[in-house]
Structure 1
Amino acid sequence: MPAALIASAGIQSNEYLARHISELGYLHPSIVASGGEARRRMGERDYDVIIINAPLPDEFGHELSLDAVQKTDAGVVFLAKSGAASEMADRLQEYGVLVLSKPFTGVQFRQTVQIAAACRHRLEYLRQENDRLRDKIAQMRLVDRAKCVLIEKRGCTEAEAHRLIEKTAMDTRRDRADVAREILEEEE
């Protein structure tokens, strides 16, 4: 179930935001009244969307939005009166915070939350792709180290070392990295 955090000090605002966000599937949003409490909650749990309704009693809220972007993968929405929103928009949007000026309609709010959620999903996909590529690079380095060992200790050429690792991996139905790891362990 998707999770949302709302940092907002006004009771009426909280009800309004919770009602509209529940229409998007965030049925039980966590609602806190201060930036400090929001930071504590961000450390305890992962949220899909974080909504900050400025001002908060202990801070304006733009610092909280920057913390949320830097310390979480959540889509972050910053709500502020039009003058403050215009002033903050350029600086916050540079970091990926979506700024919505008050007053706004329910449709505008829901669309902004949907965009924030989409940004979070995109970021999650890119992180997974990045992790996959890092693993692939690590495996390639491992195989290259094993080739170097075969070249230095067994007198193989680079092509022969490559072929030996590939053939062993195919014959034993194992990953090339596993074969390379085994070669490195044998030679140490």
Structure 2
Amino acid sequence: MLDTRALSRQPGSSKSKRLSVPAPEDFGVEMVGVPEGAAIELDLRLEAVLEGVLVTGTATVPLEGECARCLDPITSEFDADFQELFVYPDTRSGGNADDDELRLEDDLIDLEPVLRDAVLLALPLSPLCRDDCPGLCPDCGVRLADVGPDHHHETADPRWAALQGLAGDVAPVPPAGGSGDTEPRGSIDRRDGKQEG
């Protein structure tokens, strides 16, 4: 909870704060997130306005996850910017506030929902260890970055696997109209110079 009593509800008054807070659980998406309890560094500016307190800030969060292509572990740091208005519950605007608007409770602000929205919406659904990560070989699972671009497997199409054993038992058939004993249609009979039809 963030205490706003120092602003004394005077519109135009402001205060800056730097805080370090532990990350809550389930603070991430499927392949990358903030480890539970890791320090989230907050750089905040609180401004009193008529309706409530406007909070503007940046959250610096440590990320851990795995690459979506090669499954290698990823660790990095990420900055998420946010701005949110927390309305006073005892004012006209606060009394008519929608359910999705945030309210101050006893001049205290709960920043967790704001941080979740700012961080989770900005996280990549398919994080990469590097932009040009080649991923894993689909046949043997080895990291393609380790084996190089010449890595490949001689694999036959499984749909033709049942026919592979028959290839040696059957003699090739000459194509139709090839060099056989029959003469092609429309050939000239050289005995009388007439064309057969």
Q: Given the two structures, how large is their TM-score scaled by the length of structure 2? A: 0.31
Larger radius of gyration: 2
Which structure has greater helix proportion? 1
Which structure has greater strand proportion? 2
